[in-house]
Amino acid sequence: MTSLVPRRYRGVSVARFEGHLTPDVILKRFLGREAYRRTEYVVARNEQGVAVVRVVKASEEELFSAIIEVEILAGPHDCVYVSAPEVDTGIPTQMAQVARDRAPGVRCVVVQGRYEHVNFILDPAPISLEVIEFVPPEPPKLVDQVKRVLDVAEELPPVDLRPHVIDLLDLARTRPAAHYLFPCRGSGAAPNGARVSYLDERPPREEWVLVGCARSRQIHQHFYGDVPPCVEMCPREFTVPGKTLTLTKCCLLEDRIERVESVVTVPWGASLEEVREGLSTLLPTRQAGVPAPPG
Last-in-domain residue among 122, 155, 188: 122
Give the per-residue pLDDT at 286.
64
78 and 158, same domain (yes or no): no
Last-in-domain residue among 122, 147, 171: 122
Give the per-residue pLDDT at 289.
41
Task: Tell me if 1 is assigned to some domain.
Answer: no
Question: In this structure, are residues 179 and 208 in contact, taking their beta carbons and an 8 Å threshold?
Answer: yes
Give the per-residue pLDDT at 16.
92
Whether residue 280 has pLDDT greater than 50 = yes
What average pLDDT score do residues 188-202 get?
87
151 and 87, same domain (yes or no): no
Task: Tell me if 139 is assigned to some domain.
Answer: yes
Task: Tell me if 87 is assigned to some domain.
Answer: yes
56 and 174, same domain (yes or no): no
Size of the chain, expressed as the number of residues it contains: 295
148 and 280, same domain (yes or no): yes
Phi, psi of 104 (to 5 degrees): -60, 135
Return the bridge partners of 133, or none.
Answer: 165
144 and 43, same domain (yes or no): no
Give the per-residue pLDDT at 8.
76
181 and 88, same domain (yes or no): no
291 and 194, same domain (yes or no): yes
62 and 157, same domain (yes or no): no
Q: Which domain, by its residues, includes 17?
A: 9-122
Lowest mean pLDDT among 24-28, 38-42, 182-186: 182-186
DSSP reduced 3-state for 28: helix
Going by pLDDT thresholds of 50, 70 and 90, the confidence category of residue 82 is very high
pTM: 0.89
Give the per-residue pLDDT at 137.
86
Task: Tell me if 4 is assigned to some domain.
Answer: no
213-254 confidence digits (pLDDT tens): 999 999 999 999 999 999 999 999 999 888 799 999 999 998
The per-residue DSSP string of 152-219 comes to: T-SSSPPEEEEEEEEEHHHHHHTS--SEEEESSGGG-PPPTT-EEEEGGG-PPP-S-EEEE-HHHHHH
> Cα separation of 203 and 197, whole Å?
7
DSSP reduced 3-state for 102: helix
> How many independent structural domains does the chain possess?
2
> Cα separation of 158 and 94, whole Å?
8
Task: Tell me if 2 is assigned to some domain.
Answer: no
Q: Of residues 188 and 96, which shows the higher confidence score? A: 96
172-185 confidence digits (pLDDT tens): 999 999 999 999 98
Mean residue pLDDT across the chain: 93
> Cα separation of 245 and 96, whole Å?
18
138 and 244, same domain (yes or no): yes
Q: Of residues 294 and 261, which shows the higher confidence score? A: 261
How, if at all, do strands 263-267 and 258-260 pair? antiparallel
Task: Tell me if 284 is assigned to some domain.
Answer: yes
265 and 224, same domain (yes or no): yes
Residue percentage of the chain with pLDDT more than 70: 95
Handedness of CA 282, 284, 288, 289 (dihedral sign): negative
Give the per-residue pLDDT at 243.
79
146 and 257, same domain (yes or no): yes
227 and 262, same domain (yes or no): yes
Kindly tell me the burial class for residue 269, based on how many C-beta atoms sit within 10 Å of its own C-beta (0-12, 13-18, 19 or more). Answer: exposed
114-135 confidence digits (pLDDT tens): 999 999 999 999 999 999 999 9
Question: In this structure, are residues 238 and 166 in contact, taking their beta carbons and an 8 Å threshold?
Answer: yes
Last-in-domain residue among 122, 138, 160: 122
Give the per-residue pLDDT at 292.
44
Task: Tell me if 3 is assigned to some domain.
Answer: no
Whether residue 113 has pLDDT greater than 80 = yes
Task: Tell me if 75 is assigned to some domain.
Answer: yes
Whether residue 88 has pLDDT greater than 60 = yes
Going by pLDDT thresholds of 50, 70 and 90, the confidence category of residue 187 is low
What average pLDDT score do residues 152-166 get?
96
C-alpha angle with apex 19: 14 to 22, nearest 5 degrees? 85
